A and B are shown apart, each in its own frame.
Chain A
Amino acid sequence: MRKPLRGALLALLLAALPLLPAKAQKITIAALTFVSSSPLFIAQDKGYYAEEGLEVEFSFFRAAQPVAVAIASGDADFGVTAFTAGFYNLAGQGALKVIGAQSREEPGFDFSGYFVSNQAYEAGFTSPEKFPGRSLGMTQYGSSFHLMIGMLADRLGFPLSEVKLVPLQSVPNMIAAVKSGQVDSIILPAHIIKALEAKGNGRIVGWVHQYTPYQLGGLFTSTRNVQERREVVEKFVRAYQRAATEYHEAFNQLDAQGRRVFGEKAEALIPIIQKYTKAKPQSIYNGAPYIDPLGRLDVGSVYDQIAWFKKQGLVDEKVDPAEILDLSFIEGHFNIPE
């Protein structure tokens, strides 16, 4: 009884939006100034959107949640962010569809890492296996950090209840808390924790990709775009894929020994990424995540995440991953459940 109601609501919500003229093909991209959003920036700077006949306007946000809200409300057309329980709950309301991949925790590519305070490290917290009995600072319940520690607990076979989870609302709070030893550990991207480790503020004891590789984030658009402006979405996806491929060739290469290598292609892209993220080159190299060249999703991972969040009571039982995903824009998604 609730679903048709929601549909009606959505239709009403969408009808209330001003109708855009089809030929103008203006789009708004909601983005965070993170390196993981790089393909969005590269496509703009190199004119891939323009070649597809798209006129792009960026709308920048400081947190992931508003990006998704902006798409759901129709204030923006496309966005990329990490998956969270809040994102899934919002997507479950039917207003947005995940059409492709953002970054992924891929073996061999250091991105999110387990970072331990000096005190805790000296007390024996030297590997992720030692999480039971320790505390972990994170932004919030239902954040990607919560998901990562949950997946780790499942993987290593300890109950998550043995880790004291401390919600701290923001990344700066997390950093401050681990520096001062108020929490034993945090999980954050490589460029941040490598810098922290270099300054002696704690130790990296492992990487998420080593334990629980998973689909970290996605590319999404509004349901209305999928339904009514399909060709715009297709054009956007083409431009995004071109840029993602370039990014992939520049930042996601390994040498024969499995070490990451960055060449001229990376050097060439640095100024573009720097322009949007204001990050230093070293930080960009350190914090460049693995991004699938064609934006293909690890679909199985998305199903697993939603199932895990549901188990925690953080995602509404009514949320159906099949309804959130629209796999028709990109070919070759991985691990599609039967």
Chain B
Amino acid sequence: MRLLFEGVGHAFDGLEVLEGIDLAVAAGETLAILGPSGCGKSTLLAIAGGLLRPARGRVRLAGTPPEGCLNPLTYVFQDFALLPWRTVAGNVALALEAALDRRQRRERVAEVLRLTGLSDFAGAYPRQLSGGMRQRVGIARALAVRPAVLLMDEPLSALDAQTRELLLEEFLALWRRARTTTLYVTHNLDEALRIADRICVLSRRPGRIRGILEVPLPVAERTAPGHAAVIGELRAELWRMIADEVRAADRELAGAAAAHE
């Protein structure tokens, strides 16, 4: 399915955070939203999933959902948002309880746990899991509803670098196979360059589209040594687009923090 932003803008208590976002996420495309802290990336994602009503503009969803889809717009959260009193299987089953009977539920849970390598942890509580395992549960939960669009809110930024690398590798394979339309919010340039078909750079507050960069390499080939130069160039270009914004945001936030003290 396609996701269409039309003139989306938003403000919190009179403070403009997003302005004039016109963006189309194509079917099967992975679009990364990249921007400095406080540029409204997460706000945009909340609006995309219908968790926040935009002050201006609208978001539309076009196309037919995949077969067996229970929740077209499905999030993967930065803080995992797992219910600590439910086991891994219980967390994955949460969104299935209204629509599927016990048997169907058990089958689907078992399937996504297998896909995400969690089968051995079905009975474990989140407290007993590492951060990487917890985010695997978050992803399994999202896959279980057969989403039409995945909305990923910095899903790897709470993890250490090695775990992040591990999960990236594991799930790039998974995403490529499913070809689910994905909106991937991140502030990590390398992450964006690894997974995205296109990268949309936002300016700092109020967030506007600064530019959209296409990554011309297939995802599987991006870490190949022969493409290092191409990736390096893209990275430099991204950094040019974003560096001023990051610098300004950094000063701005520091100023704000100082004003609060």
Instruction: State yes or no: do A and B touch (Cβ within 8 Å).
Output: no
Binding site for A on B (CB under 8 A): none
Chain A: residues with CB nearer than 8 A to chain B?
A: none
